[in-house]
Amino acid sequence: EIVLTQSPGTLSLSPGERATLSCRASQRVSSTYLTWYQQKPGQAPRLLIYGASSRATGIPDRFSGSGSGTDFTLTISRLEPEDFAVYYCQQYGSTQFTFGPGTKVEIK
């Protein structure tokens, strides 16, 4: 099983600042199968980034994804008030899906 580790656990930032979230895998993950989700309190997760770097439909261009192999990054260029949420990375491999533990982006 591929284990995903996300850091930091919590990121305290102000609106307008840049957020950089890390997702590290215990084994190599194909970029095709690395996905990011956003979850707000009381809501289901929302697809954000797929294929490590492609934005899902309707996702603003301030969100970007990058990385390959075992290290992936989600960047929010300028935080908007609605971006404060928990972000999860997810991978698929060998007919198994795993999620990272999440990074909470909170208002400083």
- Binding stretches for another protein (CB under 8 A): 1, 32-33, 35, 37, 43-47, 50, 56, 88, 90, 92, 95-102
Token reading at 79: 């935080």
Least distance in angstroms from the C-beta of 108 to another protein: 22
Q: Which is nearer to another protein, 34 or 76 (CB)?
A: 34
| Residue 54, number of CB atoms within 10 A of its CB | 13
| Residue 12, number of CB atoms within 10 A of its CB | 12
Contact between residue 37 and residue 55 where contact means Cβ atoms under 8 Å apart = no
Q: Which is nearer to another protein, 50 or 84 (CB)?
A: 50
Q: Which is nearer to another protein, 28 or 78 (CB)?
A: 28
- Rounded to an integer, what distance in angstroms lies between the CA atom of residue 39 and that of residue 96? 21
